[in-house]
Structure 1
């Protein structure tokens, strides 16, 4: 029982509310006066506050338990067992998208980019990892081309397929769209290009978010969907 204090499962829940649920409701509900939407936002905010209260109480309880265990025959040579802190547990994408130490561990597993193919490690809400490489995919690239060609905001012409349809970010955005996945994280070994910054939001439906980490920046880049579901 003690090894489950504090309840680390609550951290990714809070991160999901903070990074996805509330920003999504704020975006899709701009200008709305719906009482249901306002109630949903208020409940999410209340849930976030309750999670903070539970975590604070759990940490206080942990301190009392450690002090008590120290009185049960423990000596200086036998310190009381330390209880795991949430920061020592593996992070899932909703939390890891802002955790630089987690990102650095992922980056170390990526091959060095020396030109040519770009490699990205992607993660969905459940933490499922998938490696995606740049390059033309007969199905994904063609579908991405059609979506961008029909977009009113992405500049295309009839001269052929935009090069961004071969990029990791665009291919994964299309995979998210096809799977109905509304949140994802991608860690790249190459810089995010301006074309992908414009293309990904045109592929992802409204309410979907892709967090991108690329070399040379200490912060994540958030790309939010603008396409009609």
Structure 2
């Protein structure tokens, strides 16, 4: 009798483990699968929700849709650090945060290899900015176009004495040649396009 009870518990345990793994995969590792440009629920989740009429169909459409950009901004506006939502050519959302990380290191290496003016201490502080990190990731993946929404109401920065290039000067150097990064400025509520040289 004890053997039958143990095998029954083993079966139930296997079912619970499988359910937990499925939950993790669908909610942690792949929550955005099917959701393009940050719109709508994931494709695996059944929903009676109507399609968002302001969801862009492509990067080009997104780069001119101020209403969509403003809605995406609302999701990050209260974050303390500068945060950006980048959308690639497939509409996949990527979250970037200002500060030192692998993307900042890639961006700094690109700026150095391109001969960009550095800060007095020899570093490239602009490499830690969200816009430049997105450009570095685009270069790494040879992406041709992306859209970026940031929560920085001051907009894309310019040259700052003693700090080397600002984003406006660095982006054309970091982006792949001919690639376009459309940055939405929450201050002006407009897009500005930067093109790689």
- TM-score by length of structure 2 reads 0.64
Q: Which one of the candidate residues 136, 139, 142 is aligned to 1:180?
A: 142
Matched residue SS, 2:95: strand
Q: How many angstroms does 1:157 deviate by?
A: 5.7
User: Cα RMSD over matched residues?
Assistant: 2.2
Matched, 1:126 2:94: no
Take 2:117 and 2:103, find their aligned partners in 1: how far apart are those partners? 19
**Once superposed, which parts of structure 1, at least 4 consecutive aligned residues long, lie more than 3 Å away?**
none
Take 1:163 and 1:89, find their aligned partners in 2: how far apart are those partners? 36
Q: Which one of the candidate residues 188, 192, 197 is aligned to 1:221?
A: 192
Which residue of the partner structure matches residue 62 of structure 2?
96
Q: Which one of the candidate residues 90, 101, 104 is aligned to 1:141?
A: 104
Between structures 1 and 2, the one with greater helix share: 1
> For residues 20-67 of structure 1, what are the alpha-carbon distances to aligned partners after superposition, in whole Å with 9 as ceiling and x for unaligned?
xxxxxxxxxxxxxxxxxxxxxxxxxxxxxxxxxxxxxxxxxxxxxxxx
Which residue of the partner structure matches residue 125 of structure 2?
163
Q: How many angstroms does 1:145 deviate by?
A: 1.6
Take 2:178 and 2:126, find their aligned partners in 1: how far apart are those partners? 22
Which residue of the partner structure matches residue 77 of structure 1?
none
Cα 1:110/1:94, change in 2 over 3 Å: same
Q: How many angstroms does 1:88 deviate by?
A: 2.6
**Alignment size in residue pairs:** 138
Take 1:163 and 1:101, find their aligned partners in 2: how far apart are those partners? 32
Assess if the C-alpha contact under 8 Å between 1:188 and 1:214 holds in 2. Answer: yes
Matched residue SS, 2:190: coil
Unaligned runs of 5+ in 2: 1-49, 159-165
> For residues 73-106 of structure 1, what are the alpha-carbon distances to aligned partners after superposition, in whole Å with 9 as ceiling and x for unaligned?
xxxxxxxxxxx9xx93621322011111111111
Matched residue SS, 1:111: coil
Q: Which one of the candidate residues 90, 104, 114 is aligned to 1:151?
A: 114
Q: Which one of the candidate residues 200, 203, 221 is aligned to 2:171?
A: 200
Take 2:74 and 2:136, find their aligned partners in 1: how far apart are those partners? 26
- TM-score by length of structure 1 reads 0.55
Which residue of the partner structure matches residue 35 of structure 2?
none
